[in-house]
């Protein structure tokens, strides 16, 4: 809940704006290159959030279940 607002400044807004500016001006090669870079940056940020949240959940579940002693038992 508190993690998301901390990542909002990381969103590559300037690059997205510059991508659209290149496209509107007809500079398609520059626009596509910067657009791909922008998508990769946004994807890396999203993957980082996903990975950290997943690891956190795994650690919490591991601690709640008491470690490996309960693995496979019902």
pLDDT tens digits along 2-59 = 555 565 566 688 888 899 899 999 999 999 999 999 999 889 988 998 999 999 999 9
- Which pLDDT score, from 0 to 100, does residue 1 have? 46
Which residues are CB-neighbours of 21 under 8 A, at least 6 positions away?
31
With tokens 């996903």, the residue in question is 50
Sorting pLDDT into bands at 50, 70 and 90, what band is 61? confident
- Which pLDDT score, from 0 to 100, does residue 64 have? 83
pLDDT at residue 70 greater than cutoff 90: no
């Amino acid at each position: 809940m508190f993690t998301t607002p901390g990542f909002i400044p990381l969103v590559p807004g300037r690059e997205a704006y510059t991508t659209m500016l290149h496209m509107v001006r007809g500079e398609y090669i520059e626009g596509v290159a910067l657009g791909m870079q922008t998508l990769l940056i946004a994807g890396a940020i999203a993957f980082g959030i996903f990975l950290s949240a997943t690891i956190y959940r795994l650690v919490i579940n591991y601690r709640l279940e008491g470690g490996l002693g309960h693995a496979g038992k019902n």
